Amino acid sequence: MNNKYENDDEVLLAKVEDKQRLANIKNKITYTDFLNDKEQVLINKKLNLKKYLWFGEENGLDRKVLIFYPEKLDEEILKRNLEDIISVIRITLPTDMKRKI
């Protein structure tokens, strides 16, 4: 069973490395899916990250998105344009589907 987790970790790290590499090669912003605490720790421990931002860190969110940006941009430009990168979907359930407490 340990092997499966190691393979999952390796796949995650490879995907993140690809995102970082593509940001530089294609000269565009790339980003991951939302990552849980375990994935964030693994990435920070195993990878040499450059030109990146953790979206959600300032808001204290548990799950964060790792955003890579190319050399031509700086972090301030990225932060000003986060709305173009991240959008939130709000789903409102009909009253009869809401759980009653």
Q: Which residue has the tokens 């407490």?
A: 101
**For the chain, what is the mean pLDDT?**
85
Q: List the domain boundaries for the chain.
A: 2-97
Dihedrals phi, psi of 8, to nearest 5 degrees: -60, -40
pLDDT digits (tens, 9 = 90+) for 29-51: 999 999 999 999 999 999 999 99
- 2-97, CATH topology level: Ribosomal Protein S8; Chain: A, domain 1 (3.30.1370)
- Please state whether beta strands 30-35 and 52-55 pair in parallel, antiparallel, or not at all (unpaired): unpaired
- Asked whether the predicted pLDDT for residue 101 surpasses 70, the reply is no
Amino acid type, 78:
L
Q: What is the dihedral of CA 5, 61, 33, 75, to 10 degrees?
A: -120
How many Å separate Cα 86 from the centre of its chain? Answer: 10
